[in-house]
Amino acid sequence: MKILVTGSHGQVGSELIKQGRRLGFEMLAFTRQELDISCCDSVQRILKKAGPDIVLNAAAYTSVDLAETNKELAYLVNSLGPKHLATECKKYDIPLFHISTDFVYSGNKLGSWSENNSTDPLNTYGASKLEGDDFIQQISEKFIILRVSWVFSNTGNNFVSTILRLAKVNKELKIIDDQTGGPTWAGDIAFVLLHLVNQYKVKNKIQWGIYNYSGCPPVTWYEFANYICKFGFDTNLLSEIPTIKAITTEEYKLPANRPKNSVLNCQKIKRIYTIEQPDWRTSLKAVIKNWTEINA
């Protein structure tokens, strides 16, 4: 099976390529420079030439705060990009698997967010991603939209890499303690997407639609930072653990608003595909251990 992956240098994209090749799939990796999904001509040309069996869209504009001033670019990549992909995939009857985000939900309720809850993004990033989700649903017949949260890995910029970097040079860190979510390793997201690909390949039977997926248990950024520093210290990546001070969202002013509650209800994907939520602490240990080995 030939699988085309957009955003192949990103956190999830790089894991998709690595795991997919290990599973024996023919992985066609495209960076943004090689396939700009915001450009209709680029999408048409590459899909026609490559002739994939499935498209996995891991490309996105993910700079949440910069999106507030770069709105046009955010919508080009996160909204028009999926629209172009959906249009071409429908033309060739190709399934489209797309990565979305918890930021499509407002975060203004108690309990976890299910796929049936209404969407009401608080910032440009979330709004642009939601518009991309909507285009896919309007155009595609064969699609998976996987909404994930708090993605981390040892590739690129993310909360884990930022905390480790700051912890090496600061004796005190101030971390938000009133936003809650489920950290999710990029490798676990790639595993789920490829599991669904295999379901389609082997059984040719899949329930198309939107699915939530994230790590568990729920945690605040402050609690997550404490685990990162502890695991970093345990593996000698950090020589000492800085003092970590809990602060409120209001105290840490950022250009973009964030959901206070990003906890995703993942019962649908468990019920249909028996996919369990991973314990992000296990994944985090593996990521930091790998970082330690790289920097040894």
Residues annotated as catalytic (active site), given as ranges: 125
Q: How many CA atoms lie within 13 A of 18 on its CB side?
A: 14
107/156 Cα distance (integer angstroms): 26
Show Cβ contacts of residue 66 under 8 Å, excluding neighbours closer than 6 positions: none
Sign of the torsion angle spanned by Cα atoms 247, 248, 254, 257: positive
239/226 Cα distance (integer angstroms): 15
**Closest C-alpha among 30, 14, 57 to residue 145:** 57
Tokens of 95: 């399934």
